[in-house]
Chain A
Amino acid sequence: MRGCIVIWKYVAKRLLQLILILFGITLLSFALMQTASGDTVDAIEQQMGSAMSEEAKEALRHEMGLDQPFIVQYFQWVGKIFTGNMGYSYIKNQDVFPMFMQALPNTLLLTLSSIIVTVLISIPLGIWSAVKQNKAVDYVIRVCTFIGNAMPNFFIALLLIYIFALQLHWFPVMGNNGFVSIILPTFTLAIAMSAKYTRQVRATVLDELNKDYVTGARARGVKERTIVWAHVLKSAMLTIITLLALSVGSLLGGTAIVESIFMWPGVGKLAVDAISSRDYQVIQVYVIWMAIIYVGINLITDIVYHYLDPRIRMRGREG
């Protein structure tokens, strides 16, 4: 039971840290966008296309609270976030939050499918490569991951488009026409991620293979296959899954470029479009929400890892 208490203490500590980090994230994004976007009232004036008198502008500023000191504005803005009001895009004449929420499922879908493909590619390859260490297979796999690591994802995307969409006509080039459209962006992200991840899986399995219990099992005459599948994999799995969860962050960022190449209507494309039209409200929402999702995933991973790993649980109990 005391193990349980330790976990809860840990969760509480992490939640406290989370609040600090959220405060930092929002403050940083708010300050950044404030300095970047200039005067909102001027932006409105430009959008309306007609000139406003200075008094009218002042009145509008007062009405919107823009004449308040920075920190007051920040807290007002945070208050608005809590009520679900993330600002208004004067470029698209739309509330930002629904716009974002509409695009988010597409990004999450793409992220999820890439993770699945990454797992399907890299875990078998990583294990195979580790088991056949320094054999031909290992070298081939390592060269492939090296090549994958040296290709930027937009290059992979364009290569895939050229080969599979333009030459072979297997897939549509862009847009969202159901299942077929997600395949190329998924593979783009999955190839880049598998290159990193296969190496990590290989290293984890190798680490595990060098442990004493494996030598012991071999000495007892346990079949190599049984050792790998029943013992090594079982104890390596926790690390492998954790690493996967932690690499979601790079995936979330990587989707922005890939989404805009494939015209996939997710939040990344929304943000890239917003940058070219200087729509700072949208960028702000994108940065904050992506950070929150990322921090959330990391937190859950950490807690689950703590909960699942008996070694850490035990240590907590002793201490």
Chain B
Amino acid sequence: MADTSLQLKHKKLKKDRTVLKLGVFLALTAGLLFIACFGQYLVPYDPYGQDLSNALAPPCADHWLGTDRYGRDLLSRIIVGAQTTVFSALALVVGITLAGTVIGVICGYFGGWVDSLIMRISDIFLAFPEMVFAISIAGVLNGGIWSAAIAVGLIAWPRYARVARSQVLAMKNHQYMNAAKLTGARWYKVILKHILPNIMGPVIVTAALDIGAMIMNLAGLSYLGLGVVPPTPEWGSMMSEGRSMLQTSPWIVLAPGMAIFVTVVIFNLLGDTVRDILDPKQTRRTAGDSVRRMKRRLSGRNRREKTTV
């Protein structure tokens, strides 16, 4: 049914608004990335510089967010800490997106025993509760932000592989795929030119919606002492340092906590908007889609899909 002109106008307005939203959130993200990149040149104080005479100072004109136990300026530490938190989370998301997509495309395109084997392996990884596995791996790998990132990545790749795989399966039987194969295109050419451009949308949406969660997971591991090692400023470990002084100097905990919160909010808003743009058919995807996916999983349609292809 053709849309009336009023409906069309409404749609256009909505689209304009989404694009505007994307611009605003991209600008915010760019600001965040700028701080993360050039933080060490922006800070008012040395983030490692101790000033014991000024320890545990509440927020004031000199120290906007107060100081910690060693008199280090919290604002400076938070700004510098952005680098660790934001870049490790972004690197992690980019890494698992690439790995997951490659694995998922291989599974979906070639099928057969490779597919079955990798899917069974991913079943095993999915059988662990997320943070339980991440905590154990990070603990075993002896700490450090990269071991924390590897721990979270190991548990997150199956989701990406599955998204990519199901996309490949869904488009495998399209006419143009057969046409491409009939014209003699080699498998890598089919994958690069025909499959990848078409599946990137859902994969990017998954990744964009995940950045916030990844930041929180990494900060959680750092809070437990399994991520960044002090004195390197990182928001999660700063909160854990301030934990014992919560009663007397709550700002030590609140400031990095709010930093995590604001960062996650920005990335979540960006993720939601990216989803709205790349996936306009399902505007309310966050919850609705997970419900639908869950239903599909439970009704066993996935399994049937696999056997028919």
Interface residues of A (CB under 8 A from B): 10, 17, 20-21, 24-25, 28-29, 32-33, 35-36, 146-147, 149-155, 158-159, 161-162, 166, 199-200, 202-204, 206-207, 239, 242-243, 246, 249-250, 252-254, 256-257, 260-261, 271-272, 274-276, 280, 283, 286-287, 290-291, 294-295, 302, 305-306, 309, 311-312, 315
Residues of B contacting A204 with CB < 8 Å? 287, 291
Residues of B contacting A286 with CB < 8 Å? 132, 136
Q: Quick one: closest A residue to B295, CB to CB?
A: A239
A92 to B129, CA, bound (A): 26
Q: A283-B139, A287-B128 are in contact. Are A203 and B287 (CB under 8 A)?
A: yes
Residues of B contacting A306 with CB < 8 Å? 298, 300
Whether A291 and B291, one on each chain, are in contact in the complex, defined by CB atoms closer than 8 angstroms, is no
Q: A271-B136, A272-B224 are in contact. Are A291 and B287 (CB under 8 A)?
A: no
B220 to chain A, nearest CB (A): 5
Judge if B156 is at the interface, Cβ distance under 8 Å: no
Contact of B294 among A151, A246, A256, A291 (CB under 8 A): A246
Q: Quick one: closest A residue to B226, CB to CB?
A: A275
Q: Quick one: closest A residue to B284, CB to CB?
A: A203
Whether B136 and A206, one on each chain, are in contact in the complex, defined by CB atoms closer than 8 angstroms, is no
Judge if B17 is at the interface, Cβ distance under 8 Å: no
A56 to chain B, nearest CB (A): 28
A256 to B139, CA, bound (A): 13
B250 to chain A, nearest CB (A): 5
Q: Quick one: closest B residue to A240, CB to CB?
A: B291
A305 to B135, CA, bound (A): 31
Contact of A25 among B128, B224, B288 (CB under 8 A): B128
Within 8 A of A (CB), among B224-244: 224-226, 236, 239, 243
A151 to B132, CA, bound (A): 19
Contact of A243 among B141, B212, B294, B299 (CB under 8 A): B294
Residues of B contacting A159 with CB < 8 Å? 254, 257
B295 to chain A, nearest CB (A): 7
Within 8 A of A (CB), among B283-299: 284, 286-288, 290-291, 294-295, 298-299
Q: A203-B288, A257-B131, A306-B298 are in contact. Are A152 and B219 (CB under 8 A)?
A: yes
Q: Quick one: closest A residue to B240, CB to CB?
A: A154
Whether B140 and A239, one on each chain, are in contact in the complex, defined by CB atoms closer than 8 angstroms, is no
Whether B264 and A287, one on each chain, are in contact in the complex, defined by CB atoms closer than 8 angstroms, is no
A311 to B301, CA, bound (A): 13
Q: A249-B129, A294-B129 are in contact. Are A150 and B120 (CB under 8 A)?
A: no
B137 to chain A, nearest CB (A): 7
Whether A287 and B132, one on each chain, are in contact in the complex, defined by CB atoms closer than 8 angstroms, is yes
Whether A32 and B140, one on each chain, are in contact in the complex, defined by CB atoms closer than 8 angstroms, is yes
Residues of A contacting B226 with CB < 8 Å? 275
B10 to chain A, nearest CB (A): 14
A153 to B233, CA, bound (A): 20
A141 to chain B, nearest CB (A): 12
Q: A206-B288, A239-B291 are in contact. Are A291 and B129 (CB under 8 A)?
A: yes
Whether B128 and A21, one on each chain, are in contact in the complex, defined by CB atoms closer than 8 angstroms, is no
Judge if B223 is at the interface, Cβ distance under 8 Å: yes
Judge if B42 is at the interface, Cβ distance under 8 Å: no
Contact of A199 among B120, B135, B268, B287 (CB under 8 A): B287
Judge if B35 is at the interface, Cβ distance under 8 Å: no
Q: A162-B253, A243-B291, A294-B128 are in contact. Are A155 and B123 (CB under 8 A)?
A: no
Whether B130 and A253, one on each chain, are in contact in the complex, defined by CB atoms closer than 8 angstroms, is yes
Whether A151 and B123, one on each chain, are in contact in the complex, defined by CB atoms closer than 8 angstroms, is no
A33 to B135, CA, bound (A): 13
Whether A275 and B139, one on each chain, are in contact in the complex, defined by CB atoms closer than 8 angstroms, is yes
Whether B260 and A155, one on each chain, are in contact in the complex, defined by CB atoms closer than 8 angstroms, is yes
- The interface bits of chain B over 114-130 (1 if a CB of A lies within 8 angstroms of the residue's CB, else 0) are 00000011011001111
A312 to B223, CA, bound (A): 44
Which of A24, A35, A154 is most buried by chain B, counting CB atoms within 10 A of its CB?
A154
Whether A150 and B261, one on each chain, are in contact in the complex, defined by CB atoms closer than 8 angstroms, is yes
Q: A150-B264, A260-B224 are in contact. Are A302 and B298 (CB under 8 A)?
A: yes
Residues of A contacting B284 with CB < 8 Å? 203, 206
B308 to chain A, nearest CB (A): 13
Whether A295 and B127, one on each chain, are in contact in the complex, defined by CB atoms closer than 8 angstroms, is yes
Q: A21-B123, A152-B216, A283-B136 are in contact. Are A199 and B246 (CB under 8 A)?
A: no
Contact of A283 among B140, B288, B290 (CB under 8 A): B140
Name 15 extra pairs, CB < 8 A, besides A154-B239, A252-B132. Answer: A10-B300, A21-B123, A158-B253, A162-B253, A203-B286, A203-B288, A239-B291, A243-B290, A243-B294, A256-B132, A257-B224, A283-B136, A294-B128, A302-B298, A306-B300
- The interface bits of chain B over 30-42 (1 if a CB of A lies within 8 angstroms of the residue's CB, else 0) are 0000000000000
A233 to chain B, nearest CB (A): 15
Whether A256 and B135, one on each chain, are in contact in the complex, defined by CB atoms closer than 8 angstroms, is yes
Contact of A305 among B121, B136, B298 (CB under 8 A): B298
Whether A276 and B225, one on each chain, are in contact in the complex, defined by CB atoms closer than 8 angstroms, is yes
Whether B140 and A280, one on each chain, are in contact in the complex, defined by CB atoms closer than 8 angstroms, is yes
Residues of B contacting A150 with CB < 8 Å? 212, 261, 264-265, 268
A161 to B163, CA, bound (A): 39
Q: Quick one: closest A residue to B123, CB to CB?
A: A21
Judge if B5 is at the interface, Cβ distance under 8 Å: no
- The interface bits of chain B over 124-162 (1 if a CB of A lies within 8 angstroms of the residue's CB, else 0) are 100111111111111111000000000000000000000
Judge if B247 is at the interface, Cβ distance under 8 Å: yes
B178 to chain A, nearest CB (A): 28
Q: A25-B128, A199-B286, A249-B130 are in contact. Are A36 and B140 (CB under 8 A)?
A: yes
Residues of A contacting B121 with CB < 8 Å? 24
Residues of B contacting A291 with CB < 8 Å? 127-129, 132-133
